[in-house]
Chain A
């Protein structure tokens, strides 16, 4: 394999950036170029709900120049993602189309959870440091323009991840709207963030101590990077040192701070907001250490590209984080862990045996596992309307790493496990799913239904199950001594839908082993 060049473009709320990466033959990742240009898309979106034509024009001309740079570097592949400013604007589709027509660049919109997942992945580019942090337990605090995301990790496992609309740009807009005096800023920021942080604490932290915070932001990280990386140190700072730093910038106005730190006044203001928020987080978590790896979403994109192209061995099993996230959601809604796991296992056995028939990949396999784990979360609200309620819960809950479309697939699979399947051509269906996604839903529902049927009694009667595809039959050999009359009886109705989707009939064969 030769040297590969990859370009990662991010259309952010207040900046468009592009990183050019080089992957060597040995799989080393090297950042070659980092180009950033300020453009306040977020100001438009957050204030008016729309990105103005003039801004779109500016955006396109920047992207055209980025394209020239990519050409110059002979980039092999690129990815371009839009974040909250593009996502939340009313004219998203039109803007993306404009960009495509005028620059030839395909920009995809990241859901918040995908964006945060990439941010999180970007910290993994820091190798050993990253492993150390998540093993010992850390909260990844990801402060962006529109919102902040807090993800708690405990011994290499993701505990929870929550989003709050408290981004630095959003807070700046509010402060400016209030026409407050600079001396009042700190208190106002406090008031804005404290309610939401208190809720977060009650729900997820309780009395837990999180030893460290991993910060992903554009301001505090920048300053830390400038002042520490020069000395070859990794960007760790002790909480008391950080507090001293915050005290110092509190005592100076933006102009003084800008001059002292060599940044613009505008950035100095945003640095102030970011610092105060970080300071509050450290207090809330009782953390003693702050790590600001100084990575950005684009690093995460490169990581993902390398992962996808098997350029290097991933440092961490990110799929496990997504599953952990689903397990935690299930737990919150009193789902049975055992039942979920049994279902998951049966589903996977069927899925794997059917590979040739369904033609689905690794990602869909993950979606199926998530659907199995979350299959009955809705019963927490209503025993009767499990399908609808589960759908609503899943759609309202963040699952890190999933795109909006994927989340909707999972929710759909869970829903139609309980309800009659609504066909694509049916009128009045409330879904944004495209045909392809819809087909995935159908295929996964068929499997989940069969699996569900096999565990009808919820007693996990089948410890082992084997699936064998023989001509137009899928023979499910179950290994149990127990009576499976109930399962067999109800299985037929589940099998009908399976047959409809795959033209293959599932049949149960009992094998009694002593």
Chain B
């Protein structure tokens, strides 16, 4: 043990704050990378709208969770610096500059490049209701009368009526009004009135256009603004401006105190809209008197006010993306391809028994995973199905299959993670549904989020019990499986089956197994395992043997892991990281991280798979998992890392890593300055890895179909 102590002493050198980037600031860089896709002229116009919308919803979530949490810390006078040496207050200050910069960039993109382009392509967005022609205005007013007016709840504030609750993330119109008194203007005091732009109605209101080949739309808030006087009949409207607030939503539950976790979460959801306001967006040019009323009432400080030159809440662009008739301005839709190793209507268990099967979503279809559970539900030899569910689509076929399995008398255990952020309400509904069907539902572990994705099917076969396991890097969500890149493994290897049984025993509250065969689990073992794997490369490099690490993940911010990577790099290990989002590691520090490269791929699909390759002195090892190298994944969640051992499958996984490392279209490379830059394409053959994988999947499916459709006709003997 003294040896360990010495090692830790050495590592201190790699934990200096100057060696790390603050995670929040790194996140803003990620959002800027997404934004750069919206600004990329080589991308179809409507795809750019989508990217811009994503940056907006990303930013919203970032405020609600991360900024809110920093605010909490500041309010609690918490001054402990982060790994980069910044106190919460310093972080907030630096973030403020960054988020304002992003917002400015968002709107200049919207106004200067996207709006004109849309117009050129036949879609005109009427920015101000004042621009409407008489005819158009008449249509809009009628639309207001028929569709909007009935669902509005206008609220005026005076001494007898308190300031109304402004809902989190809702778009509102604020107005200064003055009571009409004997038709004279200028008398009476100014009052505040507000109305929420109803979220039940589409924000995009199509308006008939007189010109052929042109489509016109106006935003709902403009329609309401135009008609606001009809809401406050006894008042004169002095001015009207849209505003939007963001509240603290970091949901922390005192689990030890909560007797019934379900009820507690329901309570928390109701409470969430009452959280502290942390951001106020208003239209640029807002009347200062109006702003002051809102500002005072919400108790919000100057730096947290965003004056915006354009429509608030750009997430409506996702709806705009969905407008029909602009298919030529979008990427052609991609259909996930069938998996060549799986014949759809045949028994999937027989096929898994033949060999392990690797699934690569969304290039390959998610159907085999759904089928795996569907078939298990009906198979008379199946005794039990166990699964962890984290985020599930609204009308999940998996939930239906699990319920059916329970009704068919199988033992069905489902771990439902209620703590999946923003999804709680959704989760509770189908958890109850499963319980009703007779499933044994486990509501997560106290203090730990269950983030692992694992399914176990126990089958009684001729020669005894056989366990079939699906392990994945992504959630069991058939909807996101079309958008997120993830890997899955179907296997019936005994060693993994035993471990899977142990995983579910642990999740059911039983003691941990004595030992694990193949899997490594967070929060107890995984971090040490990663540190060991990295250190093993370090040792090999020190002995002059080849040492190489390739790791792909969503975020990298665990200090111990980064320190181990620095140490490895310093010892000569070649380290190639593919980190989509946050990366607190710095590259190119002399003597520390010169052997480390970091690239981020932001493409059509959301990069989501976690892949880890270790050279291990020629006996290379490849792992897949649900965990990022983040403290929350390694220390506060249940995560699983699993090996890919079949040589063919290993090769497939390596092919994915190589493709991503070769990508020079969608890859941004982290520079020693801390900035991300696109790869220099001059003189190179362009390669977009996501497109490449799409083509390969199509090719493989086609080839497989051809091979299988070949029919040999036997000769018949003629006498």
Binding site for B on A (CB under 8 A): 3, 5, 15, 22, 24-25, 30, 32-38, 65, 68-69, 71-74, 222, 225-226, 229-230, 248, 251-252, 256, 260, 262, 294
Chain B residues contacting A33 (CB-CB under 8 Å) are 501, 505
Chain A residues contacting B515 (CB-CB under 8 Å) are 225-226, 229-230
Closest to A4 in B: B464
CB<8 Å pairs between A and B, sample of 30:
A3-B460, A3-B462, A3-B463, A22-B464, A22-B465, A24-B463, A24-B464, A25-B463, A30-B464, A32-B501, A33-B501, A33-B505, A34-B502, A34-B513, A34-B514, A35-B510, A37-B509, A37-B510, A68-B411, A72-B411, A73-B383, A73-B384, A73-B458, A74-B460, A222-B514, A226-B514, A226-B515, A229-B515, A260-B1, A262-B524
Contact B465 A35 (CB under 8 A): no
Is B685 an interface position by the 8 A CB rule? no
| Chain B 3-30 near chain A by CB (<8 Å), digits 1 or 0 | 0100000000000000000000000000
Is B525 an interface position by the 8 A CB rule? yes
Binding site for A on B (CB under 8 A): 1, 4, 383-384, 410-411, 440, 458, 460, 462-465, 501-502, 505, 508-511, 513-515, 524-525, 528
Chain A residues contacting B384 (CB-CB under 8 Å) are 72-73
Q: Which of A22, A222, A230, A248 contacts B1 (CB 8 A)?
A: A248
6 closest cross-chain pairs (CB), A and B: A72-B411, A36-B511, A226-B515, A3-B464, A72-B384, A22-B464
Contact A36 B1 (CB under 8 A): no
Chain B residues contacting A15 (CB-CB under 8 Å) are 511
Contact A252 B1 (CB under 8 A): yes
Closest to A256 in B: B1
**Shortest beta-carbon distance from B246 to chain A in Å:** 40
Cα(A251)–Cα(B2), bound, Å:
10
Extra contacts besides A25-B463, A71-B411 (19): CB < 8 Å: A22-B465, A33-B501, A36-B505, A37-B509, A37-B511, A38-B511, A72-B383, A72-B410, A73-B465, A74-B460, A226-B514, A251-B1, A252-B1, A256-B1, A260-B4, A262-B524, A262-B525, A262-B528, A294-B514
Cα(A72)–Cα(B464), bound, Å:
14
Cα(A15)–Cα(B514), bound, Å:
14
Closest to B1 in A: A248
Cα(A416)–Cα(B475), bound, Å:
73
Closest to B462 in A: A3
Chain B residues contacting A30 (CB-CB under 8 Å) are 464-465
Cα(A260)–Cα(B7), bound, Å:
14
Chain B residues contacting A3 (CB-CB under 8 Å) are 460, 462-464
Chain B residues contacting A72 (CB-CB under 8 Å) are 383-384, 410-411, 458
Closest to A22 in B: B464
- Indicate the member of A5, A34, A229 with the most B CB atoms within 10 Å: A34
Contact A36 B524 (CB under 8 A): no
Closest to B528 in A: A262
Cα(A25)–Cα(B461), bound, Å:
12
Closest to A73 in B: B383
Contact A36 B463 (CB under 8 A): no
Cα(A34)–Cα(B515), bound, Å:
11
Cα(A248)–Cα(B410), bound, Å:
49
Chain B residues contacting A262 (CB-CB under 8 Å) are 524-525, 528
Chain B residues contacting A73 (CB-CB under 8 Å) are 383-384, 458, 465
**Shortest beta-carbon distance from B703 to chain A in Å:** 40
Chain B residues contacting A294 (CB-CB under 8 Å) are 514
Closest to A72 in B: B411
**Shortest beta-carbon distance from A415 to chain B in Å:** 46
Cα(A366)–Cα(B323), bound, Å:
88
Chain A residues contacting B440 (CB-CB under 8 Å) are 68
Cα(A281)–Cα(B509), bound, Å:
35
**Shortest beta-carbon distance from A500 to chain B in Å:** 53
Chain B residues contacting A68 (CB-CB under 8 Å) are 411, 440
Chain B residues contacting A32 (CB-CB under 8 Å) are 465, 501
Contact B1 A74 (CB under 8 A): no
Cα(A225)–Cα(B516), bound, Å:
10
Cα(A5)–Cα(B384), bound, Å:
15
Cα(A72)–Cα(B505), bound, Å:
14
Closest to B4 in A: A260
**Shortest beta-carbon distance from A41 to chain B in Å:** 15
Chain B residues contacting A230 (CB-CB under 8 Å) are 515
Chain A residues contacting B383 (CB-CB under 8 Å) are 72-74
Chain B residues contacting A5 (CB-CB under 8 Å) are 465
Chain B residues contacting A260 (CB-CB under 8 Å) are 1, 4
**Shortest beta-carbon distance from B461 to chain A in Å:** 9
Chain A residues contacting B410 (CB-CB under 8 Å) are 72
Chain B residues contacting A248 (CB-CB under 8 Å) are 1
Cα(A251)–Cα(B465), bound, Å:
45
Cα(A256)–Cα(B2), bound, Å:
12
Chain A residues contacting B524 (CB-CB under 8 Å) are 262
Chain A residues contacting B4 (CB-CB under 8 Å) are 260
Contact A225 B1 (CB under 8 A): no
Cα(A15)–Cα(B510), bound, Å:
10
Cα(A73)–Cα(B508), bound, Å:
17
Cα(A34)–Cα(B458), bound, Å:
15
Cα(A225)–Cα(B411), bound, Å:
31
Closest to A26 in B: B463
Cα(A37)–Cα(B505), bound, Å:
10
Cα(A25)–Cα(B501), bound, Å:
23
Closest to A263 in B: B512
**Shortest beta-carbon distance from A412 to chain B in Å:** 42
**Shortest beta-carbon distance from A6 to chain B in Å:** 12
**Shortest beta-carbon distance from A254 to chain B in Å:** 14
**Shortest beta-carbon distance from B438 to chain A in Å:** 12
Closest to A31 in B: B498
Chain A residues contacting B460 (CB-CB under 8 Å) are 3, 74
Chain A residues contacting B502 (CB-CB under 8 Å) are 34
Cα(A345)–Cα(B501), bound, Å:
52
Chain A residues contacting B511 (CB-CB under 8 Å) are 15, 36-38
Chain B residues contacting A229 (CB-CB under 8 Å) are 515
Chain A residues contacting B465 (CB-CB under 8 Å) are 5, 22, 30, 32, 73
Contact A35 B505 (CB under 8 A): yes
Chain A residues contacting B464 (CB-CB under 8 Å) are 3, 22, 24, 30
**Shortest beta-carbon distance from B550 to chain A in Å:** 25
Cα(A3)–Cα(B458), bound, Å:
15
Cα(A189)–Cα(B62), bound, Å:
56
Cα(A248)–Cα(B4), bound, Å:
12
Cα(A22)–Cα(B508), bound, Å:
22
Contact B514 A225 (CB under 8 A): yes
Chain B residues contacting A252 (CB-CB under 8 Å) are 1
**Shortest beta-carbon distance from A149 to chain B in Å:** 22
Cα(A370)–Cα(B540), bound, Å:
64
**Shortest beta-carbon distance from A23 to chain B in Å:** 9
Cα(A5)–Cα(B383), bound, Å:
13
**Shortest beta-carbon distance from A346 to chain B in Å:** 48
Closest to A226 in B: B515
Cα(A71)–Cα(B276), bound, Å:
51
Chain A residues contacting B463 (CB-CB under 8 Å) are 3, 24-25
**Shortest beta-carbon distance from B230 to chain A in Å:** 63
**Shortest beta-carbon distance from A423 to chain B in Å:** 51
- Indicate the member of A36, A230, A256 with the most B CB atoms within 10 Å: A36
Chain B residues contacting A38 (CB-CB under 8 Å) are 511
Cα(A262)–Cα(B527), bound, Å:
11
Cα(A69)–Cα(B510), bound, Å:
13
Cα(A226)–Cα(B515), bound, Å:
5
